[in-house]
């Protein structure tokens, strides 16, 4: 970036070969070809095919694809068809969710490219912002969005909202004077930047950078160098898949060796081993996990949280730290009057209600307060429109003054109709004052401005309805009250008035004034943020405020939302060693004046220390951190396109409390995934144990591959899927986040082994006692016992602590209906002509009752253990 801010206006014009009259049309076209259109390259945009192909990157999916290929090779076409269909289903679920999210982002993008006003050949023209080129003279006024980086040439009371770039919530006063070379971005008062907005005033500026060359564009381009990492769930599932692959290879190898040892052909036994391994793969697991996440995402969307990638839904549940921007995320991003001083008394305003000495009051019955609020709206250019809802237009500070008077019952429209506007003496950065003269029965000057400036111009004060002389001692006391309010991070304005004679001028209108009081305002916190933060802390999730605002403002907002802890400014962090930096970032709570690069470094530090980090943000200054975090959370309303496109989650309502609901849902997702995994694997342990036992004992296979596939389809499908909608545990938001190092099998491995052992003992016993008399009957008994064992087991998998009676059998009706469906399907398989396909035979009533009894032993054992554990 050229140091345009350090050059005077003539130097800038000369360097860009332009003039105050603007470029010629020919030169503008030449530069447009040279520099290209003024637009940002799309960040993170991918096609539908790319989204679809990314769904096949999981190791488990690769294993299933290999299993499909092997099934085709060895002639198991039904196996190949079923596994292939499951892979396709899993991929379609993931594709649809991500594709839908990408489309939602496109809809969020503004449909029209804004037009801008420029001078070309001395004439004002309105052109598309895409046609802006370096050297163009841009005309700006209140409400405009800046579409390029510019150096100011002239300004009139210009104030910019640069929160999207710097994180600073207060408007930035602008000047056209040159600045020092070492001026920081946030303090470049003679520069205006792409993506920012004009809050107040007007001006003329020369374009110095467009498109990807702007500050906005540079940060956007840096995003592309940050690698998108897999979520913790994806990493853990890949690790789990590798272990499954090892087990599968082990099964094939051991089967082949045992067969050869018994004198069978090596190739035939190897194929048998592969067939058995393929049949034993929990092929339904990826689809169940995908559906679990998809259902959770649908529930999150109801609460205005749009998840872009399926695994991100679960990652929220394991979050240990939320690093939140302040402006627009924790706060409303609009100024609100919260404290007033007049007549020697303070008045607090909370949720639109006025309080004095802790008691609720009617503001308009307090004469001095009424006059203060009245001057606030009569010396004011903002307007209020009451359409389908109340809308305020104008400078943020003036809008706050109109809003607070409106809350008190003092309506601007009525008051301004009573007093005709005569003349305005506008605010300027040099005067720090504005006044408007109005006429009712007499002429009155209404004045507002910087408190110290207003106080110097006052000779009297209104106290309890009486005008009293203002001496130096009282003036000093009032100045101390102003400083006290400012120390609370309030933006404070002073107000005064004066009755005028028939003839007046600016000097008469703005001197020898009657002081009315101060109004202090702040970018107020959102109402629900304090409760959301409290819920996070109760859940063991640390919340850190990272902002570009001043430390004073950050502390004040943090105090209002219940964030307590150490606070630091950027300059303090920059002096620290790497070890000290890590310690401070981990332990600190409030961080102010933070640059994008420093925020990025902080997120990397937290992740390196084992934290699972979620970062919220809406501006381009947040983009690097959003992409580096485990979960990047962008704002849907206030957020920039770039921030949304690199995020994992978008808050459609910009509501911080939506994050807490998403964390709750994420924890529920992980709990339910583990329930499904332990249910799935317990069945697979049973299948493997009885097959190996039969091989070791030189017995026929109790379960044939096709029968195993049937069992997996009816038991691993619907019942397992029903577990994904299980309600959250009662203590879900009162327990600490899970250890980031925790693996999928942690805390459930014991259950899997015990359940698999009980199931295999029951199943193998039925087979061993019957296979010599009737092999088909023995296999039918073993298969049916395995199926019913799993159907009973699904009820105990619903909770680790509560019994089925405490949960209520019908509290998850999907489990009941899925078990009933699987039960009926198994009856169809053994009592209809379909039995011939699987090699089943009908069971007698006594045999059926025996199977039901032994199959329920697992459920009885685990339910009793829950009661025993609670007793301990």
Q: Which residues are known to be catalytic?
A: 325
Would you call 37 exposed, middle or buried from its count of C-beta atoms within 10 A (0-12, 13-18, 19+)?
middle
For residue 120, give both structure tokens. 């070309």
CB-count exposure of residue 708 (10 Å: 0-12, 13-18, 19+): buried
Q: Which of 783, 780, 804 is nearest to 859 (CA)?
A: 804
> Cβ atoms within 10 A of the Cβ of 868, count?
9
Q: Which residue has the tokens 């290879």?
A: 249
What are the angstrom distances between the C-alpha of 166 and each of 198, 624, 647, 708? 15, 14, 19, 61
CA gap 817, 810 in Å, rounded: 10
- Among residues 84, 104, 245, which one has the least CA distance to residue 650? 104
Strands (E), 372-441: 383-386, 390-393, 420-425, 433-439
Sheet order of strands, 305-307 included: 305-307, 649-651, 631-635, 613-617, 321-324, 542-546, 590-592, 567-569
- Rounded CA-CA distance 415/405 in Å is 11
3-class SS letters over 830-846: HHCCCHHHHCCCCCCHH
Whether 162 and 176 have beta carbons less than 8 Å apart is answered as: no
Q: Is 66 helix (H, G, I), strand (E, B) or coil?
A: helix
Please report, for residues 296, 313, 532, 631, 668, the alpha-carbon distance to residue 663 in angstroms, rounded to integers and kept in the order given: 11, 8, 11, 11, 9
CA-to-CA separations, 782 to 84, 765, 785, 848, 854, in angstroms, rounded: 27, 8, 5, 11, 11
Under DSSP, is residue 358 helix (H, G, I), strand (E, B) or coil? coil
Lookup: tokens for 745:
């099998």
Closest-CA residue to 455 (of 499, 549, 518, 390)? 518
Q: Rounded to an integer, what distance in angstroms lies between the CA atom of residue 803 and that of residue 796?
A: 7
Nearest Cα neighbor of 210 from 105, 120, 116 is 116
Is 12 in contact with 151 (CB distance < 8 Å)? Answer: yes
**Residue 757: closest CA among 622, 624, 618, 862:** 862
For the chain, how many residues are written? 872
**In sequence order, which residues have a C-beta less than 8 Å from that of residue 238 and are 6 or more positions away?**
58, 59, 60, 230
Q: Which of 189, 204, 202, 205 is nearest to 426 (CA)?
A: 202
- C-beta separation of 520 from 492 below 8 A: yes
């Amino acid at each position: 970036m050229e140091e345009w801010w350090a050059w005077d206006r003539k130097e800038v014009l000369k360097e860009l070969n332009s003039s105050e009259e603007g470029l010629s049309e020919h030169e503008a076209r030449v530069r447009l070809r040279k520099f290209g259109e003024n637009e940002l390259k799309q960040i993170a945009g991918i096609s539908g095919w790319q989204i679809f192909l990314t769904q096949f990157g999981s190791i488990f999916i690769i294993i299933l694809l290999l299993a499909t290929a092997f099934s085709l090779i060895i002639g198991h076409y039904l196996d190949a068809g079923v596994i292939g269909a499951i892979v396709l289903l899993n991929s379609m679920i993931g594709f649809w969710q991500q594709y839908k999210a990408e489309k939602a982002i496109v809809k969020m993008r503004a449909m029209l490219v804004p037009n801008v006003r420029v001078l070309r050949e001395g004439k004002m023209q309105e052109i598309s912002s895409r046609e802006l080129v370096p050297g163009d003279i841009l005309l700006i006024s209140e409400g405009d969005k800046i579409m390029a980086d510019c150096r100011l040439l002239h300004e009139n009371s210009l104030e910019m909202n640069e929160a999207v770039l710097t994180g600073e919530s207060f408007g930035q006063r602008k000047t056209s004077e040159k600045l020092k070379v070492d001026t920081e971005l946030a303090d470049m008062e003679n520069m205006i930047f792409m993506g920012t907005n004009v809050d107040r005033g007007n001006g003329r500026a020369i374009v110095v950078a467009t498109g990807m060359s702007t500050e906005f564009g540079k940060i956007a381009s840096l995003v592309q160098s940050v690698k998108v990492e897999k979520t913790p769930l994806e990493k853990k599932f890949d690790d789990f898949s590798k272990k499954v692959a090892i087990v599968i290879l082990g099964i094939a190898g051991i089967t082949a060796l045992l067969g050869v040892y018994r004198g069978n052909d090596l190739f035939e036994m190897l194929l048998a081993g592969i067939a058995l391994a393929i049949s034993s793969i929990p092929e339904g697991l990826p689809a169940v996990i995908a559906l679990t996440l998809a259902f959770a995402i649908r529930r999150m969307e109801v609460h205005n949280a749009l998840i872009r990638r399926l695994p991100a839904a679960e990652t929220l549940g394991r979050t240990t730290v939320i690093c939140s921007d302040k402006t627009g995320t924790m706060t409303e991003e609009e100024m609100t009057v919260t404290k007033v001083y007049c007549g020697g008394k303070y008045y607090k305003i909370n949720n639109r209600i006025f309080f004095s000495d802790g008691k609720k009051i009617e503001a308009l019955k307090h004469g001095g307060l009424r006059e203060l609020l009245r001057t606030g709206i009569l010396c004011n250019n903002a307007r209020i429109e009451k359409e389908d809802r109340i809308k305020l237009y104008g400078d943020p500070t003036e809008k706050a003054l109109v809003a607070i008077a409106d809350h008190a019952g003092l309506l601007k429209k009525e008051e301004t109709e009573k007093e005709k506007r005569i003349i305005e003496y506008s605010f300027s950065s040099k005067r720090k004052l504005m006044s408007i003269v109005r006429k009712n029965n007499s002429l009155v000057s209404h004045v507002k401005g910087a408190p110290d400036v207003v106080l110097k111009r006052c000779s009297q004060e209104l106290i309890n309805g009486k005008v009293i002389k203002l001496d130096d001692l009282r003036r000093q006391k009032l100045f101390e009250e102003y400083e006290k309010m400012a120390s609370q991070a309030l933006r404070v304005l002073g107000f005064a008035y004066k009755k005028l004679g028939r003839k007046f001028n600016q000097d008469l209108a703005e001197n020898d004034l009657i002081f009315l009081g101060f109004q202090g305002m702040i970018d107020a916190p959102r109402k629900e943020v304090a409760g959301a933060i409290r819920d996070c802390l109760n859940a063991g999730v640390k919340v850190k405020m990272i902002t570009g605002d001043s430390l004073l403002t950050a502390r004040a907002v943090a105090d209002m939302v219940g964030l307590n802890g150490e606070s630091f400014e950027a300059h303090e962090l920059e002096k620290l060693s790497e070890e000290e930096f890590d310690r401070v970032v981990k332990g600190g709570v409030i961080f102010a004046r933070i640059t994008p690069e420093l925020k990025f470094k902080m997120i990397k530090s937290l992740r390196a220390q084992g934290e699972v980090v979620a970062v919220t943000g809406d501006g381009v200054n947040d983009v690097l951190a959003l992409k580096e975090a485990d979960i990047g959370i962008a704002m849907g309303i206030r957020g920039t396109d770039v921030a949304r496109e690199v995020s994992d989650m978008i808050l459609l309502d910009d509501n911080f409390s939506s994050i807490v609901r998403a964390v709750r849902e994420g924890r529920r997702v992980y709990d339910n995934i583990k329930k499904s995994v332990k249910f799935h694997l317990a069945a697979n342990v049973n299948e493997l144990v009885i097959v190996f036992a039969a091989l070791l004992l030189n017995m026929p296979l109790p379960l044939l591959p096709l029968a195993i596939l049937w069992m997996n389809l009816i038991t691993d499908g619907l019942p397992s899927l029903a577990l994904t909608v299980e309600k959250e545990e009662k203590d879900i938001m009162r327990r600490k986040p899970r250890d980031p190092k925790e693996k999928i099998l942690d805390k459930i491995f014991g259950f899997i082994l015990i359940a698999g052992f009980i199931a295999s003992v029951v199943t193998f016993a039925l087979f061993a006692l019957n296979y010599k008399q009737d092999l088909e009957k023995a296999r039918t008994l073993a298969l049916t016992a395995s199926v019913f064992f799993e159907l009973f087991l699904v009820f105990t998998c619903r909770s680790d602590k509560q019994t089925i009676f405490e949960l209520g059998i019908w509290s998850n009706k999907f489990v009941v209906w899925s078990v009933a469906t699987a039960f009926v399907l198994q009856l169809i398989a053994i009592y209809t002509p379909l039995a011939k396909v699987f090699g089943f035979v009908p069971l007698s009533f006594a045999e059926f009752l025996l199977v039901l009894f032994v199959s329920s032993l697992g459920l009885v054992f685990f339910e009793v253990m829950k009661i025993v554990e609670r007793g301990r």
